[in-house]
């Protein structure tokens, strides 16, 4: 039995090796959210019901019926491939350690999502809201806000990532509406919390692992995400694995046209563990490079997160004290990045 340290405390993982079962993913549902863009209230409520079932029983679901243009997605994958193909000497000029707010390039093995691991086998580039240095929150040192770093000679990279980031803000707002319906709240309940959200986006490149794979050094070790939820888009290479309630690692294959959404620790905390923040990992043994784009959506940095009124009662009181959103996310980032493995560049 292994232990993974998460934002909700230590969680046990059966030592089941690196194999994952390939199943028909009826247990990770596909949810068509197109009714959220329309005016049929009963159809919207049905989306909320489907989301509630997915978030309480699985913690993961596929989203279809969104309105994200395929051209925006394609341009971002193309831009990511162009950036990661640059020499390391160019990419390291944008080292994330030079950013005051976790923006920029992360080399191979410089991140360690699972504290028992030896470093994650991927490269990454991080952005979030591009907030200028003269912004009041930036001047006040509020966590999570500030400017992004950008490569000088790849203008299309910046353009593509910013367009994708905006598309995810729009989609994330819709998912928050679905969460509100799922929790029997007013559909707009969460919207005041995301007027200046901690909306962290990454493009990631995973080399293929050939031969015998060290379980302590894979694409991303077992972990749960930090924020309210993650919206993930991947290329066609299967590598994502989800831990089910029986302790089995299950393959989560890419579905054409769909995003993968999973609940994060902050949402589990906000819902008093009613919504499940599920452990997952990435192992790329495909024989080729894999690219993915996770978008981590959290509330405004200074939002006070208290257990929701619909998620507590006398028999199940609040399990977590109130916390400032940015303080919580910063604590999780600090743990992950302090544990980087030293690398000679």
CATH number of residue 161's parent domain: 2.60.120.330
Residue 344 lies in a domain: no
Residue 5 lies in a domain: no
Number of domains in the chain: 1
Give residue 3's pLDDT.
41
Q: How far apart are CA 156 and CA 202, in angstroms?
A: 16
Condensed to tens digits (0 to 9), the pLDDT of residues 170-200 reads: 999 999 999 999 999 999 999 999 999 999 9
Condensed to tens digits (0 to 9), the pLDDT of residues 54-111 reads: 999 999 999 999 999 999 999 999 999 999 999 999 999 999 999 988 899 999 988 8
8 A C-beta contact, residue 183 and residue 267:
no
Q: Tokens 């199943």 label which residue?
A: 23
> At what angle are helices 41-57 and 155-182 packed, to 10 degrees?
100
- Nearest CA to 127 out of 70, 184, 194, 198 is that of 198
Per the DSSP assignment, residues forming a β-bridge with 251 are 241
What is the chain's mean pLDDT, rounded?
89
Residue 292 lies in a domain: yes
Residue 7 lies in a domain: no
Higher-scoring residue by pLDDT: 9, 272: 272
8 A C-beta contact, residue 299 and residue 228:
yes
Model confidence band, residue 336 (pLDDT cutoffs 50, 70, 90): low
Residue 345 lies in a domain: no
Whole-prediction pTM: 0.90
Could you tell me the residue range of the domain that residue 156 belongs to?
16-338
Q: How far apart are CA 336 and CA 95, in angstroms?
A: 16
* Cα angle 301-304-306, degrees, rounded to a multiple of 5: 135
Residue 244 lies in a domain: yes
Residue 245 lies in a domain: yes
Q: How far apart are CA 234 and CA 77, in angstroms?
A: 9
Q: How far apart are CA 108 and CA 289, in angstroms?
A: 13
């Amino acid at each position: 039995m292994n232990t993974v340290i998460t934002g909700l405390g230590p969680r046990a993982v059966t030592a089941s090796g690196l194999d994952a079962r390939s199943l028909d993913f009826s247990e990770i549902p596909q949810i068509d959210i197109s009714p959220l863009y329309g005016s049929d209230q009963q159809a919207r409520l049905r989306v909320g019901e489907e989301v509630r079932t997915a978030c309480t029983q699985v913690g993961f679901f596929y989203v279809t019926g969104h309105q994200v243009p395929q051209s925006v997605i394609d341009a971002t994958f193309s831009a990511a491939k162009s950036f990661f193909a640059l020499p390391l000497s160019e990419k390291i000029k944008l080292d994330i350690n030079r950013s005051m707010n976790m923006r920029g390039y992360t080399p191979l093995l410089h991140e360690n999502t699972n504290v028992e691991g030896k470093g994650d086998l991927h490269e990454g580039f991080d952005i979030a809201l591009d907030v200028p240095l003269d912004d009041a929150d930036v001047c006040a040192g509020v966590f999570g806000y500030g400017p992004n770093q950008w490569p000088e000679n790849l203008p299309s990279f910046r353009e593509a990532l910013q367009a994708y980031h905006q598309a995810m803000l729009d989609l994330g707002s819709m998912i928050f509406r679905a969460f509100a319906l799922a929790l029997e709240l007013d559909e707009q309940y969460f919207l005041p919390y995301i007027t200046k959200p901690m909306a962290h986006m990454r493009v990631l490149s995973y080399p293929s692992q050939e031969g015998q794979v060290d379980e302590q050094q894979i694409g991303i070790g077992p972990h749960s995400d930090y924020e309210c939820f993650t919206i993930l888009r991947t290329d066609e290479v299967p590598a994502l694995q989800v831990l089910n309630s029986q302790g089995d690692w299950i393959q989560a294959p890419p579905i054409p046209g769909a995003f993968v959404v999973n609940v994060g620790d902050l949402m589990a905390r906000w819902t008093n563990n009613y919504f499940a923040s599920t452990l997952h990992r990435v192992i790329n043994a495909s024989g080729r490079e894999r690219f993915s784009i996770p978008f981590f959506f959290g509330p405004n940095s200074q939002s006070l997160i208290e257990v929701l009124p619909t998620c507590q009662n006398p028999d199940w009181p609040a399990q977590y004290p109130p916390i400032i959103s940015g303080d919580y996310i910063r604590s999780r980032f600090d743990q992950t990045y302090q544990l980087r493995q030293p690398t000679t560049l």
